[in-house]
Amino acid sequence: MATAATGPIGFVAPQITVRLARAPSPPLLSSALTGAAAVLVADTLTRTLLPWSAPIGAVTSALGAPVLIYFLWKATRV
């Protein structure tokens, strides 16, 4: 429900930041920078690679979900 309300960036960016920073809770500034970088990459890919107009939220989900799954898979293998 929270992801539907805030969008994929509000959920994926802090989770990725927690895994990268190895912190118990998401650092605010790092989460904001991770989210901004994810949106910038998604917007750039949408404008340059795709021949049609795609919503940036869908592209960030498509990019962020595999990264998050990889971090979760890596965390459970330890």
Contact (Cβ atoms closer than 8 angstroms) between residue 46 and residue 63: no
Contact (Cβ atoms closer than 8 angstroms) between residue 10 and residue 3: yes
pLDDT in tens, the chain (78 residues): 555 555 677 777 888 888 888 888 888 899 889 888 888 888 888 888 888 888 877 787 787 788 878 878 887 875
Cα distances from 36 to residues 14, 27, 30, 32, 60, in angstroms, run: 11, 14, 10, 6, 11
**pLDDT of amino acid 5:** 55
**pLDDT of amino acid 69:** 85
